[in-house]
Structure 1
Amino acid sequence: MDAYESPKEVDFHFDVMCPWAYQTSIWMRDVRDQLDLKVNWKFFSLEEINLREGKKHPWEREWSYGWSMMRIGVILRRLDMSLLDKWYALAGKALHVDGNRPHNPDVARHLLEQIGADPAIVEESINDLSTHEEIKAEHDRVVNTGGFGVPTLFFPDGQAFFGPVLLDPPTGDAALRLWNAVTAWLEFP
């Protein structure tokens, strides 16, 4: 990659339960809108990476906080990536800003209605066991590159970065300066 060539696409791995990934997603959307960047929203499970011995994997439970929200996200992404984008933005805000519980099925249904999606997607996600495989594959992608958390960014050349972890995401020119700083590291694989 040319040192001056900014990527046109990025895979953004997240878990709705992670406040840091949510804050970074706000920055990522700002950068996307300014640069016409394609953002592919992908999953990573904090429940799975932090699983304690003797506990069930999230896919072994009928409903599991972060994992179940990602299963809803899989169904939305199959319909249109923009629905997943809206879902993540709204569910993240509900959890991390408003103090709501988007991991509660009734709240999840309400949030789906707010983005213009069918609230029955909650039940569809529970009944569609293939959603587990998509989440596992994306989670394993991060783990197999040495990743342990989110946000994790993957670039078209195969490089991946953990972060940036943001508390107060920059906007406008500051958001672009941070993007340029992050992507400058792509010159040094």
Structure 2
Amino acid sequence: MSDQQNATMYFDVTCPFAWVTSRWLLEVEKVRDVEIQWAPMSLAVLNEDREGLDPAYARQAANSKAPALVAAAIYTEYPEKTGDFYTAMGEKIHNIGGVDKQDPECYDQLIKNSLAEIGLPAEFFDAAHKADDAEGSYGEQLRASHAKALELVGDDVGTPVVRLGDRAFFGPVLTRIPRGEEAGKLFDASVTLGSYPHFFELKRSRTEDPRAEFA
């Protein structure tokens, strides 16, 4: 019988914290018997009804819905390609950078290029700017996946959400990417804490921003 552990990470491709966590989980796959699965959530959906947001951040969050909708379309039609799309998009957004996140069309060309890179039909881009109730929209699927993430951890968190077996939590929030055995040990600790039914939070003030580089 296999002892392989399954983990699911709920992500928004535009979130720098989720990106660092996702690259850590890929490092974990190299040193632990674990398989990572990927599912979309959305900062746009998370923030759409919140009042008092900084206007610049509110625009940035709203603009992030385009790649989230495409991720939901891929998750629905080609779930095995979801992680590939995340990697292709994330490398452009977080590793290369230079994206004007205030521009409503800032992700459009990145989406088109990423779809081509991973061998998916260009028509998936059509999902990017469709209203939830429009024909051919994947808004319902995005909201369902997002709701599943919040069902696991509550609605007072952000992205990422990581599910380990029957337990899930927000984060872990990392600012660098652990690698090798260090990545594995951090995963082991996360599993231990996450599997304890009375564990809820471990936190300290953050003194640096996330950077897409190894520790």
Report TM bin, short chain.
0.7 to 0.9
- Higher mean alpha-carbon deviation, 133-142 vs 15-24, is at 133-142
Distance 1:97 1:105 in 2: 17
Per the alignment, residue 182 of structure 1 pairs with 190
- 8 Å CA contact 1:27–1:169 kept in 2: the answer is yes
Per the alignment, residue 72 of structure 1 pairs with 70
| Deviating 4+ runs (over 6 angstroms) | none
* TM-score, length basis structure 2: 0.71
Higher helix share: 1
Distance 1:32 1:74 in 2: 24
Give the drift of 1:110. Answer: 1.3
Question: Percent of counterpart pairs with the same letter?
Answer: 26
Question: Which of 120, 124, 133 lines up with 1:121 in the alignment?
Answer: 124
1:111 partnered with 2:118: no
Q: CA RMSD in A?
A: 2.6
Per the alignment, residue 16 of structure 2 pairs with 19
Give the drift of 1:79. Answer: 4.0
Distance 1:71 1:50 in 2: 15
1:106 alignment partner AA: Q
Q: 1:120 to 1:38 in 2, by over 3 A?
A: same
2:188 alignment partner AA: N
- 8 Å CA contact 1:40–1:81 kept in 2: the answer is no
Q: 1:37 to 1:103 in 2, by over 3 A?
A: farther
* TM-score, length basis structure 1: 0.80
Give the drift of 1:111. Answer: 1.6
Q: Any idea what SS the aligned residue of 1:97 has?
A: helix
- 8 Å CA contact 2:162–2:168 kept in 1: the answer is yes
Per the alignment, residue 180 of structure 2 pairs with 172
Per the alignment, residue 97 of structure 2 pairs with 99
Give the drift of 1:40. Answer: 2.1
- 8 Å CA contact 2:74–2:82 kept in 1: the answer is yes
- 8 Å CA contact 2:76–2:141 kept in 1: the answer is no
- Report how many aligned residue pairs link the two structures: 175
1:152 alignment partner AA: V
1:154 partnered with 2:163: yes
Distance 2:67 2:195 in 1: 35
What stretches of structure 1 of length at least 5 have no aligned partner?
A: 1-5, 55-63
What stretches of structure 2 of length at least 5 have no aligned partner?
A: 53-61, 100-104, 198-215
Give the drift of 1:124. Answer: 5.0
